Amino acid sequence: MFQNVSLSLLQRFSTDRKGVAALEYALIAPMMFMLLFVSFELTDALSASNRAERAAGAIADVIARDVLVSDAEVADVLAAVPWITHPTPGEHVRSRITSIFVNASGQASVVWSEGSGMAALPVGAIVTLPGGMLVPETGLIMGETQMDYRPPLGLYSASAFTINKTEYRRSRIMDPIERFAG
């Protein structure tokens, strides 16, 4: 008897279509909301990466347009990085500008370097560059930016990670660009 009652209830339940939409919504809605929030976080991370890359390119470009740079000019350019990477808080952004000269044998070495939150590279240190940058007897400016990024919701990554960007610009007028105190 109990078996007959439960079998008839099960048959009625399987043919009843009331509430199917609510059940489908209850199953699909959490996945859709998760997809929405993860896409928001990924978009925000890509935006932060773009800001870091833009900052590295901007500081390299400003110095590459000059012939001779002063300590004050380098300090001003490095001080502008938090403004370029806004709305990322300034204490989470580090940057470095390095003047590099590629000698006749194709070896790249540091002419001068200055960092804000990053250690300057030692003068004369050998630098590894991408192959297309190794043009003998030329100078270039390397702009580097490091940004600590913490996803706002922490859905795809609960911990902070560092975004590293490096941009190179050829010296426009003089090889290499020298620096003076002032």
Residue boundaries of the structural domains of the chain: 2-180
Please tell me the total number of residues recorded for the chain in this structure.
182
pLDDT of residue 133: 85
Q: How far apart are CA 24 and CA 129, in angstroms?
A: 55
Average pLDDT estimate for 45-65: 94
Q: Using CA atoms of 37, 42, 48, 50 in order, give the dihedral in degrees to the nearest 10.
A: -140
Bigger pLDDT: 64 vs 16: 64
Burial degree of 22 (CB within 10 A; 0-12, 13-18, 19+) = exposed
DSSP reduced 3-state for 139: strand
Give residue-wise pLDDT tens across range 130-161: 878 888 999 999 999 999 988 887 776 778 88
Give residue-wise pLDDT tens across range 13-49: 667 677 777 788 888 999 999 889 888 888 988 999 9
23-26 long-range CB contacts below 8 Å, 24 or more apart? Answer: none
pLDDT of residue 120: 96
